[in-house]
């Protein structure tokens, strides 16, 4: 069955918000299954259906670490840009998040306009591990990520490098110039708040 174009555009946004919320405690390793992935998809559908009903009241949907990681491993692969491999997200406590992925930096450098001799993009290439930490705030229907640190292959680099990566890999029909990390963004599907706890998150609509 073909999915309507509007839903194809919205479903990744809903899934992304749930993914950002449903993170594991730092350092935890989870074995995931296709059943976990199916549960995640059911919960995304539940969130979308609440929006369609436009009913009064609220809805709380818990999402576990295993369900989120399973989505990355199975059905979520087509939502990950080419050149980004094995993304992993963890929660460090107090709203602080950490993200890690192997990224093809050559793709970014080919499109990058150098700002001078000390531009960090000039000196990085190949597929390297990129990690970042920050604080996620998601309340009143709006989310914002305050970035704290960025590392490439374990070496601290300026925030501007991560912005270059995000700009390149987030370009789309909706965002031709890519996404700016400093910009707040509205939560889809009438999501009002994301409550992040240890090992799970609760999506509040």
What digits encode the pLDDT tens for the residues 168-202? 888 888 788 888 988 999 999 999 998 887 778 88
- 8 Å CB contact between 164 and 112: yes
Residues 6+ positions from 2 with CB-CB distance below 8 Å = none
| pTM: predicted TM-score of the whole model, two decimal places | 0.71
Q: Which domain holds residue 200?
A: 5-204
Domains in the chain, number: 1
* Strand-pair partners of 83: none
Per DSSP, 79 falls in state G
User: What tens digit of pLDDT does each residue of 16-60 get?
Assistant: 555 555 433 334 455 779 999 999 999 999 999 998 887 788 999
């Amino acid at each position: 069955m073909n999915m309507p174009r509007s839903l194809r555009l919205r479903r990744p946004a809903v899934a992304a918000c749930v993914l950002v919320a449903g993170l594991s405690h730092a350092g935890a390793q989870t074995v995931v299954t296709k059943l976990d992935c199916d549960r995640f998809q059911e919960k995304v559908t539940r969130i979308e259906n609440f929006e369609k009903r436009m009913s009064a009241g609220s809805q709380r949907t818990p999402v576990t670490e295993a369900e989120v990681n399973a989505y990355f491993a199975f059905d979520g692969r087509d939502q990950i840009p080419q050149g980004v491999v094995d993304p992993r997200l963890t929660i460090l406590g107090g709203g602080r998040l950490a993200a890690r992925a192997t990224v093809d930096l050559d793709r970014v450098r080919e499109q990058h306009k150098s700002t001078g001799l000390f531009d960090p993009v000039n000196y990085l290439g190949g597929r390297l591990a990129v990690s970042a930490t920050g604080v996620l705030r998601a309340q009143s229907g709006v989310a914002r990520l305050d970035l704290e640190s960025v590392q490439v292959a374990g070496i601290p680099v300026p925030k501007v490098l991560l912005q270059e990566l995000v700009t390149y890999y987030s370009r789309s029909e909706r965002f031709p110039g890519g996404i700016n990390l400093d910009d707040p963004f509205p939560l889809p599907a009438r999501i009002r708040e994301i409550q992040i706890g240890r090992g799970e998150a609760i999506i509040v609509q």
